[in-house]
Amino acid sequence: MKTAAFLGLGAMGGPMAAALARHAAETGGQVLVWNRTFEKAQAHAAEYGTQAATLEQVAQANVIFTCLPISADVDEVIGQLEKHLRPGTLWVDCTSGHPDAARVQRARLLERGVKFLDAPVSGGVNGAKAAALTVMLGGPADEVEAVRGELAFAGKVVHVGDTGAGFAVKAINNALLAVNLWAAGEGLAALAKGGVDLSAALDVINASSGRSNATENLIPARVLTRAFPPTFGLGLLAKDTGIALDVVNNVKGSAPVLAQVNALCRAATQMIGPHEDHTALLKLVEQMNGQEIK
Ligand code: NDP
């Protein structure tokens, strides 16, 4: 029987592990779950038919998935698990991590005969619940092919390059999210200040060339409504834009707009709060303009 283990049952990990459990029920496998706050693993098991397990137990799985906030958290868990790991295990890290960390983690795990793939995801909590995430994989082609069929939470799987490339693509994607969100916020704040109705403005923009996921989905559903539902933390977005900047600097690139949006995300994380939804980035635009975006 094939055993998968999922470590980190947060906003993303919880529904991703549930998708693995649905797949395992169809294929005769089993899914072990571990969470730092262990009660969450027990609650997950009760709700989704997974099995709450200790770190020693999860080390026996064929595939180990992690989805933790940052690569340093994954390092910590690798440290705790290391002595229990078995050769032949595949470690798939779905954290939006750092490319440099991925290379070190892979080398460290290979010493134990464990293969490591960076496999960050996009699609948000709704995408995870619908098992429709996009997964961007970094690592050797044969290992990527071996894991494709295990990614039951995915709607789309793309091999983007060698170890670290998955994390690099994810970071740049999220930097683009931040740029689009911030820029749309600036424009809409100005329009609101000038007395333009923002629903009408978005109606036009979303039928025109200035549209983005920010204008089509995020701003109408989360900002204009003032709901800002906390599904993806502002602190995590600031982390991602920081990684994107490292990706640029590692190749001695020049990206002044990405540098600026990272600084703005960091400022907003300090001023608005790391656990606010990422769309609360626009509360900083509002403060700068003395104008709510609504
Ligand atoms: P959450 O904050 O909701 O969950 C974090 C999880 O990590 C919790 O299970 C938490 O355990 C655990 N954790 C935190 N620190 C440690 C540690 N040092 N050791 C062990 N476990 C730890 O995060 P998300 O699910 O939102 O995000 C996870 C990753 O996915 C991030 O890298 C994020 O950038 C990325 N991501 C998030 C998306 C989203 O929409 N939320 C979308 C796409 C990617 P505990 O319960 O004990 O706190």
Q: What is the ipTM of this complex?
A: 0.99
Fill in the amino acid letter for 66: T
Cβ(68) – ligand 1 distance below 6 Å: yes
Q: What are phi and psi of 8, to 5 degrees?
A: 105, 85
* DSSP-derived secondary structure for 28-44: T-EEEEE-SSHHHHHHH
Tens of pLDDT, residues 168-207: 999 999 999 999 999 999 999 999 999 999 999 999 999 9
Cβ(236) – ligand 1 distance below 6 Å: yes
Tens of pLDDT, residues 234-279: 999 999 999 999 999 999 999 999 999 999 999 999 999 999 999 9
Q: How far apart are CA 56 and CA 146, in angstroms?
A: 24
What's the Rg (C-alpha) of the chain? 20
- Six-digit token pair at 242? 């920081």
The DSSP symbol for 82 reads G
Longest dimension (CA), the chain: 65
Q: How far apart are CA 213 and CA 129, in angstroms?
A: 19
pTM of the entire structure? 0.98
Which residue's alpha carbon is at the smallest distance from atom 40 of ligand 1?
A: 124
Which residue's alpha carbon is at the smallest distance from atom 19 of ligand 1?
A: 73
Cβ of 246: how many Cβ atoms within 10 Å?
A: 14
